[in-house]
Structure 1
Amino acid sequence: MASRDLEALPVGFERFHRRDFLNYQFNRAHALGFADRAELLAAADRIRSGPDCVPVFEDLSARAAAAGRARHAAGYLRLAEFFTPPRSGEKLARYRRLRDLYDEVFVGTGVVRHQVPYAQAALPAYRLPADGPGTGATVLLHGGFDSVIEESHPVWQRLAAAGFDVIAFEGPGQGGARALHGLTSEHDWEKPVGAVLDHFGLTEAALVGISMGGYWALRAAGREPRIRQVVAWPPVYDWLYRLPAAARGPVRRMLTHRDFMRWSVRTRARLFPTLRGVVEQVLYMVDSDDPADVVDWFLGMNARHLGSERVRQDVLLMCGEHDAFQPPALARAQALALTAARSLTVRTFTAAEHADQHCQMGNLDLACRVLTTWLRDPAGLAG
């Protein structure tokens, strides 16, 4: 698709639903251009909880597909798939149908699907060549905790329109890598990144990690010399840095009591539906039934494992001033730890820019302009 054909993405973080978590997911689909505002508002009136989303968005997806609106059909089915419990019988079938819809979206855009060999299985990847005269540079891009890589297609398009060859891929535990190939999650992201670089014969590339992928991208950059620039959109650094400094030590000690942690996770998951979804997702990603493994998985994303002092590339940290998932405190801690980076740019997006939420849902066009400007010239990004 030529850059002149790119439609502007919606601007503004909407109040679709009174529950913040549901509201964010609806905004995620809207901001990426996969959902119609009026249809989301009408759907929200029929939804009280996460499980309600499944039949409502299945119906919307079918209606959009019948009308030839493949993009909206995919976006609504993605919402239905997102709220389907990971280990339910419907999850895999719904995911396979979702991939078929994304294939319809990609027709005529230049996107080519690949399978990257990895651990006797494969990582799904997509390649999108630069649109028009290119920069000659390649950008690797991956998502985070609960993403499917196809939903970030608007970001790939904007990177390609700016002259970059794009390879978007899923690592172990994500999307099709888990659902189709059985690859469970791991935090040593240099391994999948190295496999992708090898498969495509790349001697250098930039690396962009979205959401929790910001942690994994920095981890990989510190151990993979073929990465020349790295973007954490946004960073995690260490989950315990969401807490006051005085609380981190006592919390670490408390977390060593595994029986207590099992009880705590089970109890809290019963009380809080959003947390229950997080617990189910982690257990699916690591293929476990032990609630204590959820704590281990999150605490595995820590400053020591990350090794920020090993990152020697140009680094961009992107964050939103009101990010409820990965708040600016994590970006500040990450910036201080990058003592060996060739250059460091921190870009905090604001409410005035309609970009203050997680991953800048509300103004992705702005975020992509910042990203592509920095990729062209890390020293030239102002603000």
Structure 2
Amino acid sequence: MAKTPTIFFRDDVFDDQFARTLAAVYAGASDLGEAFSAARAIGAHATPDKWYGGWLALARNVEASASAAAADGHSVTARGAYLRAAEYYRQAFFFIRHDLDDPRAQDAYADHVRTFAAAAPNLGVAFGEAVEIPYEGTTLHGWFFSPDDSGEVRPTVISPDGYDSTAEDGLAYVIGALERGYNVLTFDGPGQGRALYRDRLFMRPDFEAVLTPVVDWLLTRSTVDASKLVLFGRSFAGYLAPRAAAFEHRIAALVCDPPDPNLGLHIPAVAGSLAAPTIELEMRLSAEKREFFGARMATHGLTDVAEYFTTLREFDMTPVAGQVACPTLLVECEGDPLSSTGGADALAAAMTAPTTRITLTAESGAGGHCGGLGQKVWDGAVYDWLDGVLKGESAA
């Protein structure tokens, strides 16, 4: 699998995250000049602490400019600056998530949510409303976006978070839907966003138990076309979405990028009982490894590597993949490390619903995780297919 070219940071983990902020430009949620300024301040050889400090400094400066613009009555400037500050606060806490009680992470997450809300409801690219979705005696936090405030009934994209995203930064990945006249719902499920950082609700493999209450709530909204609900599964949601769609049959179409039906296949290929001790040693020797695995374990409420690997094996939806009933698009992007375990092959082989597969190449500009910097290329491929499916045309 071809490796995506380095943008700035020597370590791929940091560079891939930097690409997320650059791609947020499509939503007006970052600025290239600001982003590269932060990168230069951090330096090409990033560490979690340098990353936190560099992005936090930028976020605070941009928020200060937003507040000044708002005080002077410059609403467009203020809205844009608040939206960008939200993205920079998200980056600030990204590599310190292994400890959910770290006050730096807690504060930066709260600032991320607060500044995003300060930019709403008119975000420039959409109208956004913070929503609370009833779920098992509590509520899940989300955002309902519309292309305008006309009240028109529209098809609606449901876009759950991934392993490390939030309902707020989900906006950057659904601009194509809003441009084409769809509503969008992003939300923090267990193990994600507010559900994790504040409420300590942890990731669960039976995601249908999360999605069905979300769909129930969504269908109470007058602007949602009940016959045209679309479920997106990007990044970690490449497992969550198809798992839920196997049981929740009010979904009209499913998109997975990358398809990731069996997370147990991501367990490091170290022989048997040596896997957990090997990773534990790497975590002791490397702050980056400690964060990589620690943040993932935290989403499951775990601190033990062996227990984490055991839990990952529970996230296998291939036995129920044949129950998915809606047309499905499986997207693979060249250079996406999550595509290396053959998830698309496994899911396609297990499904009986009409299934289409596409590959987006690095040459096209959409190489890397979930299309990387090529979000417009991704949008063209995915929404052209989706438009046809919702019009009743062939899904193949």
Using structure 1 for the length normalisation, give the TM-score: 0.85
| Correspondence 1:112 to 2:129 | yes
Per the alignment, residue 65 of structure 2 pairs with 67
Provide the secondary structure at the position in 2 that maps to 1:67.
helix
AA aligned opposite 2:368: Q
Per the alignment, residue 231 of structure 1 pairs with 255
AA aligned opposite 1:186: R
AA aligned opposite 1:291: V
Per the alignment, residue 314 of structure 2 pairs with 300
Alignment of 1:30-179 (within 5 A): 30-33=22-25, 34-45=29-40, 46-47=42-43, 48-68=46-66, 69-85=81-97, 86-87=99-100, 88-109=102-123, 110-131=127-148, 136-179=154-197
Per the alignment, residue 367 of structure 2 pairs with 356
Q: Structure 1 residue 133: deviation in Å?
A: 9.3
Provide the secondary structure at the position in 1 that maps to 2:36.
helix
Alpha carbons of structure 1 residues 181 and 241: separation in structure 2 relative to 1, 3 Å:
closer
| Correspondence 1:182 to 2:194 | no
Alignment of 1:187-266 (within 5 A): 187-201=205-219, 203-204=226-227, 205-239=229-263, 241=265, 254=272, 257=273, 261-266=275-280
Alpha carbons of structure 1 residues 381 and 219: separation in structure 2 relative to 1, 3 Å:
closer
Say whether the 8 Å CA contact 1:135–1:163 is kept in structure 2: no
* Distance in 2 between residues matched to 1:35 and 1:14, nearest whole Å: 19
Q: Tell me, which stretches of 5 or more residues in structure 1 are unaligned?
A: 1-11
Per the alignment, residue 6 of structure 1 pairs with none
| Correspondence 1:28 to 2:33 | no
Per the alignment, residue 334 of structure 1 pairs with 347
Q: Structure 1 residue 265: deviation in Å?
A: 3.0
97-106 or 289-298, which deviates more: 289-298
285-294 or 127-136, which deviates more: 127-136
* Distance in 2 between residues matched to 1:356 and 1:380, nearest whole Å: 27
Say whether the 8 Å CA contact 2:266–2:341 is kept in structure 1: no
352-361 or 64-73, which deviates more: 64-73
Say whether the 8 Å CA contact 1:121–1:183 is kept in structure 2: no
Q: How big is the alpha-carbon RMSD for the aligned residues of Structure 1 and Structure 2?
A: 2.6
Q: Structure 1 residue 35: deviation in Å?
A: 3.1
Say whether the 8 Å CA contact 2:294–2:303 is kept in structure 1: no
Provide the secondary structure at the position in 2 that maps to 1:126.
strand
Say whether the 8 Å CA contact 1:115–1:124 is kept in structure 2: yes
Using structure 2 for the length normalisation, give the TM-score: 0.82
- Percent identical: 24
Alpha carbons of structure 1 residues 240 and 280: separation in structure 2 relative to 1, 3 Å:
closer
Say whether the 8 Å CA contact 2:336–2:369 is kept in structure 1: yes
* Distance in 2 between residues matched to 1:30 and 1:60, nearest whole Å: 14
* Distance in 1 between residues matched to 2:309 and 2:218, nearest whole Å: 35
282-291 or 89-98, which deviates more: 282-291
Say whether the 8 Å CA contact 1:140–1:207 is kept in structure 2: yes
| Correspondence 1:283 to 2:297 | yes
Match of 1:320 among 333, 348, 353: 333
Give deviations 1:159-182, integer Å, cap 9, x for gaps: 122121221112111011112222
Count of residue pairs brought into register by the alignment: 358
* Distance in 2 between residues matched to 1:156 and 1:333, nearest whole Å: 27
